[in-house]
Amino acid sequence: MAEFTLELNDDQKQVRDWLHGFAADVIRPAASEWDEREETPWPVIQEAAKVGIYSLDFYAQQFFDPTGLGIPMAMEELFWGDAGIALSIVGTGLAAVGVLANGTEEQIGTWIPQMYGDADDVKVAAFCSSEPDAGSDVASMRTRAVYDQAKDEWVLNGTKTWATNGGIANVHVVVAVVDPELGSKGHASFIVPPNTPGLSQGQKFKKHGIRASHTAEVVLEDVRVPGHCLLGGKEKLDQRLARARERAATGGERVKNAAMATFEASRPAVGAMAVGTARAAYEVALDYAKTRTQFGRPIIDNQGVAFQLADMRTQIDAARLLVWRASWMATTGKPFESAEGSMSKLYASETAKKVTAQAIQILGGNGFTREYPVERMHRDAAIYTIFEGTSEIQRLVIARTLSGMPIR
């Protein structure tokens, strides 16, 4: 078991510097254009694929880093470049995590490579959980999956929303209700293969931030998928549902649902994204404060500005430490007894919103214009307190974990 450390090893430093170079040389110069276009930056994704960043091998190497720091380090550097483009590059990862968390070895080996494609034929994937009436309240999910035993097929019907890469993905991972009486414990995850009839893109959202990332509704109308597309397999599902029914009858401990398993695994990574955005805004503000003069001296000489920068740096470092701790705990199998994953996501998300707002304030009128990147960073930062569990939901998870109450 790897010991917790705050020092990256030489290999990790080399990867970090490589990612930072890509973020600085490829992502940042394209950030403003794709934010304005509000389109998926396919040329940047393809460039990332060519150099090996957008690939199954790269993410597998970071995911299986024994220290747990590979993924958060990668997320921080890419999102330091630009949140919208970075999310287009890493958005497939949420679907991949869904398969890793719930799928069999055969499913992992079959479907994850199809989510990425290759440098000559780039693909993306989508994880579809949220619905118009079921965001934080996953128990209200209405998308149904009914088993057709005669054909060994599952039939999916419903509408998903807020799906990154929804409708344009090669592979969709869809969470659906298989037993409505069990609430959120009656959910399962399904692979919808490429070109499956009945799946279509609904509304594409025009967003406040992360505008280079495609977000849309996914409509499922009598979508039939083979039985082997049920993640984990039917035998495992039947066993899980039986345990859930028994526990519901006896009032015993609740089991986790498929969507929650995916979100728990990804929350520290989202925290790392927020750290990257916050760090980028802080660095812009710091450089500006050193060079901008008012009343004959750099504005950093004023305590009002200097103290803001001191607080910004302190909060960023604290957020990174929480993210690294949670990532290390997850990798080494230590349970989140105090909801450390939610802690990391909560604090890093709130830090990103606060730091980017402070950066605008330090730049003054310039910060409010699109000539400087901090206004875009502030718009992008707003999403971190919303997606993959709002800050309010994170606080609820933490509070219930500390009190011993069940997390629904």
Mean pLDDT of residues grouped by 10 in the chain (408 residues)?
80 97 98 97 97 92 92 97 97 91 93 94 95 76 95 97 96 95 90 97 97 97 97 93 83 53 73 98 98 95 97 98 95 90 97 98 97 98 93 94 78
pLDDT tens digit sequence for 210-228 = 999 999 999 999 999 999 9
Cβ contacts of residue 177 below 8 Å, gap of 6+?
Answer: 141, 142, 143, 144, 145, 186, 187
- HEC string for the chain: CCCCCCCCCHHHHHHHHHHHHHHHHHHHHHHHHHHHHCCCCHHHHHHHHHHCCCCHHHHHHHHCCCCCCHHHHHHHHHHHHCHHHHHHHHCHHHHHHHHHHHCCHHHHHHHHHHHHEECCEECCEEEECCECCECCCHHHCCCEEEEECCCCEEEEEEEEEEEECCCCCCEEEEEEECCHHHHHHHEEEEEECCCCCCEEEEEECCCCCCCCCCEEEEEEEEEEEEHHHECCCHHHHHHHHHHHHHHHHHCCCCCCCHHHHHHHHHHHHHHHHHHHHHHHHHHHHHHHHHHCEECCEEHHHCHHHHHHHHHHHHHHHHHHHHHHHHHHHHHCCCCCCCCHHHHHHHHHHHHHHHHHHHHHHHHHHHHHCCCCCHHHHHHHHHHHHCCCCCHHHHHHHHHHHHHCCCCC
pLDDT tens digit sequence for 75-122 = 999 999 999 999 999 999 989 988 988 999 999 999 999 999 999 999
Q: Which two tokens mark 373?
A: 């990147």
> Which is nearest to 71 in space by CA: 268, 262, 241?
268
> Which is nearest to 247 in space by CA: 177, 180, 182, 335?
182
Question: What is the pLDDT at residue 245?
Answer: 87
CA dist 106 and 8 (Å) reads: 33
- The residues assigned a catalytic role are 388
Question: What is the pLDDT at residue 255?
Answer: 46
Give the position of tokens 């118009």. Answer: 132
| Phi, psi (deg, nearest 5) at residue 310 | -60, -45
- Could you count the other beta carbons within 10 Å of the beta carbon of residue 365? 8
According to DSSP, the residues that pair with 230 across neighbouring strands are: 190
| Phi, psi (deg, nearest 5) at residue 254 | -85, 150
> Which is nearest to 363 in space by CA: 308, 310, 400?
308
CA dist 136 and 144 (Å) reads: 18
The region, left, alpha or beta by phi > 0 then psi within -120 to 50, assigned to residue 251 is left
CA dist 34 and 337 (Å) reads: 41
- Could you count the other beta carbons within 10 Å of the beta carbon of residue 227? 14
CA dist 260 and 271 (Å) reads: 17
Question: What is the pLDDT at residue 264?
Answer: 62
Alpha carbon of residue 92 to chain centroid = 9
